[in-house]
A and B are shown apart, each in its own frame.
Chain A
Amino acid sequence: MKRIVNILKRFKGFFRGVSKIPAAILILLLLAAVFANYLALHNPEIGDPRERLLPTCFEKGGSLKFPLGTDTLGRDVFSRVIFGARVSLLVAFSAVFLSACFGTLMGVCAGFFGGWIDQIVMRFTDAWLSIPTIMFATLLAVVLGPSITNIIIIMGLIYWTRYARVTRGEALSLKTRDFVHLATIAGCSKFRIIRKHILPNVMNSVITLASLQIGVVVVVEASLTFLGVGVPPPKPAWGLMLSEGRGGLFTGQWWLIVFPGLAIALLVMSFNLLGDWLRRRLDPHQQSLL
């Protein structure tokens, strides 16, 4: 019991100085994603065509039954936005996790072993960085076909190079440190050194990079979905809602454009602010305006 209290106390210290508003927004969206089944008023994928294009509840002709209006197929925009949080967060967290794991593995191996492994990995990341991401993702999406699993794999494939670059540099410098030499002398295998001495020491940068990357991943997922190569219909994804609602722009259905985009912007903004806070927390030497 005492241990649990201690751990909680440590966590309280860890969250010192966190900005409250973005944290609150993120928690709210996380809760919305987890409890979407209970919060949503209607089925997000099935609508009633008789109730199509109803305006929001604070406009004339709208009702509290559909607080944010309905789309061209009569689906409730509010419910779709809530369920959209689930899709967005699922894709973002899985893709970042995937790319961080793969990139860290490649980077640590390249930095630690050096030689030709290093050369190959680094030339590969160089080439990777000069390929325009969305274009390449579009290509891959056409290859694999649109589905949530595939978009996660594609995003993971695109973003691993940044982790590889950062962890390679750190592994290079860690390799020359005394505790690694001592571990070698003590008879540790290379695998053990990587696992016990290198990986824990690169974790801070990986977590920082991941937290800064996750906002970008949300935006790129939304862009790909908007272009029709990401999450396929009729899933309630924010990018998809925007592309389906584009027609409403000229016929006066502004709510089809505003709310899904607002949800993306809020999520990305809180990710950005929290990522920046985390970076300052884990690496206090850096200063920045934002």
Chain B
Amino acid sequence: MLGIVVIWVVSVLIFLATRASGDPVIMMADPGAGKEELDVIRERYGLNRSLPVQYALYVVNSLKGDFGQSLFQGTSASLLIWERIPATLELLLAAKIISLTIGILGGVLAVASRRKWVQNSVRIFSLLGLSMPNFWIALLGMLIFSVYLGVLPTSGRGGISHLIMPAFSLGWYFSAGYTRITYSALLEVLNQEYIKLARMKGLPEWLVIGKHALKNAMIPVITLAGMNVVIMISAAVPIETVFAWPGLGYLLYTSAGNRDFNVVQGVVLIISVFMVLLNLLVDILYAYLDPRIRYK
């Protein structure tokens, strides 16, 4: 229910923002086009109607999964968007895996190792990830791995080798958050009675942490991972631009520059729907991991 309200507010915001951004007809027509030619274009794309009518049309069509024609590419906007989704999902998934692996590993290392230098390296690694803008990491990566070493490609989508640099430069920032939260959650869990019992049973320390403690410490991590997805989609826009990665962010970047309303609306709307569904999924996963929630 809340999800529907959220999607509605988002759709109104997006609609108003795109419509207020100037007249796209002037940009679409030839430089010397007269008033009649402009009117013909307006007619063809429904831009001559009043704003409420345009909005109503937009809602009805979006429900049918039709975001109208792309004002620039001449194909349907939803087709353009659907084409780009797999690339973005691939990037997000890879970045998520990388960030979760690095992040949880860092948190566990910082807790399990009593050596000062291990904790300090984890700390510095996270701090660097938090502080460097992701597109700068991407550019430095290109400089080192593509230009000087020549081992990784600079742009486009392909096999694993195309994926490594974008996914890593996107994921590093987020791994810091996971490290921090794994660390504090683990410390908290390790103080509990059942951990003492597990230790008294004589379990080796890696099993105590890896099997008993980590599962309960994962709850805040998963919550954060869910909340981070929307930030990650945002953060992917500069990354996709740097690597010319054919995903939604790159599409939105080029479309916003062209004031291609239909595509922009479609992208942001799809992402918001996706976000609402994802929140639902996180809630379900939550209940699976922590049975106490089910009985509330």
Residues of A that sit less than 8 Å from B by CB: 123-124, 126-127, 129-136, 138-140, 142-143, 215, 219, 222-223, 226-229, 239, 242, 246, 249-250, 254, 257-258, 261, 264-266, 268-269, 272-273, 287-290
Contact B234–A142 (Cβ < 8 Å) = no
Contact A143–B268 (Cβ < 8 Å) = no
Of residues 246 through 268 on chain B, the ones whose CB sits less than 8 Å from some CB of chain A are 249, 252-253, 256-257, 259, 264, 267-268
Q: How many A-B residue pairs have CB under 8 A?
A: 159
A123 to B233 alpha-carbon distance, docked (Å)? 22
Contact A127–B9 (Cβ < 8 Å) = yes
A55 to B271 alpha-carbon distance, docked (Å)? 44
Contacts of B105 in A (CB 8 A): none
Contact B256–A242 (Cβ < 8 Å) = no
Contact A123–B5 (Cβ < 8 Å) = yes
Residues of B that sit less than 8 Å from A by CB: 2, 5-6, 9-10, 13-14, 17-18, 20-22, 107, 110, 119, 122-123, 126-128, 130-136, 139-140, 142-143, 147, 154, 176, 179-180, 183-184, 230-231, 233-235, 237-238, 241-242, 249, 252-253, 256-257, 259, 264, 267-268, 271-272, 275-276, 279
Query: Which among A123, A134, A215, A290 is the interface contact of B238 at CB below 8 angstroms?
Result: A134
Contact A129–B230 (Cβ < 8 Å) = yes
A117 to B56 alpha-carbon distance, docked (Å)? 27
The 4 closest A-B pairs by CB, nearest first: A261-B136, A127-B9, A269-B131, A134-B234
Contact A135–B252 (Cβ < 8 Å) = yes
Contact B276–A290 (Cβ < 8 Å) = no
A66 to B135 alpha-carbon distance, docked (Å)? 26
- Given the interface pairs A226-B238, A269-B127, the reply to whether A135 lies near B179 with Cβ below 8 Å is no
Contact A249–B139 (Cβ < 8 Å) = yes
Contacts of A290 in B (CB 8 A): 123, 126-127, 130, 176, 180
Contact B256–A138 (Cβ < 8 Å) = yes
A–B pairs, 11, beta carbons within 8 Å: A124-B9, A131-B13, A135-B233, A135-B268, A138-B253, A142-B259, A229-B256, A242-B135, A289-B110, A289-B183, A290-B123
